[in-house]
Structure 1
């Protein structure tokens, strides 16, 4: 008779795959603990590196089924949690205080829904159990205050220069849009814009964030170079629409991040299909399969495709992004799935993890 042991339990867990990465929980070093009682009761503790509230029950069930097949096991319990660790940035800049990871959400051209995607991804990450912030880096055309429904709010100033982020729907936000009126044009040259971005980023008192998403302006100019060279970015996401013109510019965005060694965590294809509200006919208005082609060409991943829907635009204009306005809907689920995959890709991305320094009283 084989005695029940930690090794036999871990051997069974080699066949339990993490849903996002496709790797076994043991290969990911996600088994935080195994407790075995004399009566054959086994408790397994799983610790993921990305927020996964929607997957928690599924993973716990899979673990319990696998471990229950081990000889000598009488009962199994499992709990799944997550701990988001900071990843080192490519430019080796010092991490921002209270910010674990910075993810740039970029596009090569305007009008592809990048800001809408950023807002909903931030809310999706928060819904999955992460602490999230958004920095609106589009100095010339800030839109996040409007999208989060806090356009008339002004940040509180601390110590004459630091700003408290505005919180909306559980997400911390800062934007040039909070500091000027809607009618004020930003008639600035490149160096002034880059300086404003750096001040917004460094002078905001972010509070214990797992992820700070930066809503980038379109293009590959001054702000993008400032971000790549001066900000400790740990990953990037490219937003595009399926048509060839948008894909050409998206390729430039991917190439830019690759040149500065920032991992591209994946591509989000926006406005992929449109379903007629009157007859139900589905049509690929901007082309089909473009996001998948560019992801394959650059050996990255298509994180997901999103539809062209009137409701999404109406919800954003009303200051209630889709993940908040219709949390049980198909589109909100798509955003959550994309957010989970993005965070999981960052977890397993190549690179050195920043050590976590713990202090005690000894």
Structure 2
């Protein structure tokens, strides 16, 4: 008699479970294999992963390996370890079946009879109910926290920190300058590239030590919390396919808003002006393009890049504001600097380089 090769799948989510839960599942599966005469050849484990989604690395690896014929049966401690979503459960059970793999549960006797099919459906329904009911209870607790204007989890927005005692938002003095600079420069008509360069010159970076990105600027400019309004439950966390989309807003009756619920960094008037300006820019793309005349645009290339990497990168027109008085400087800048940060060629003042080139041109007497 051929001994069937078995694979074990164990999982715990982040709700009050830990590695001991995995150990208990594996011990039960090992005992089950010994009882049934299976040879346990592979163990797949997902830690702190919810079964309401199929985005579990070891689970997906198990499905891939089932296609390779690495095992004959798959054993879980309970069906809810496999999935708590009825659609995913049916989908992946079918994949296993097509690959010739039988699914067994240690605690639930599923022998393939008509009665066990009904029982399996009931168990799957109860697992999904448990998951959705738990999410509802968690949300209920988070809403109570939100009504008190306390931090509900995740990283606070740039410019804010969380008081370790009160759990309420406080101003992060090391970052508030980022928010103030972004709004003031944007409202003064500066483009994203100019704002990013100014923030870099002031020594500001993201919380991960990288340059602040254009996406971060957009997030800052759209965040109403900077006006002192505490907001919770504004966006949908996931769609039907389990994908997140922070731009998809919930109905207004589901959103908690508390005026004055957090420190103010931006006036409501400036915030509204920024929204109007951003919406206008959407309708008029290229609002920050070509506000200066560049006589040599497309005609000169970066000598440093040509010498060092053998590529002719065009020198592009650029405008920036420097110093306390924000004096305007118009220059030519290597296009490779913004793309790779590798070019060290300094910017060339427009009036100097254009005057030099014009002086070299032959003149004709008329």
TM-score (normalizing by structure 2):
0.25
Query: Quick one: higher RCO (CA 8 Å, sep 6+), 1 or 2?
Result: 1
Q: Which has the larger radius of gyration?
A: 2
Higher helix proportion:
2
Higher strand proportion:
1
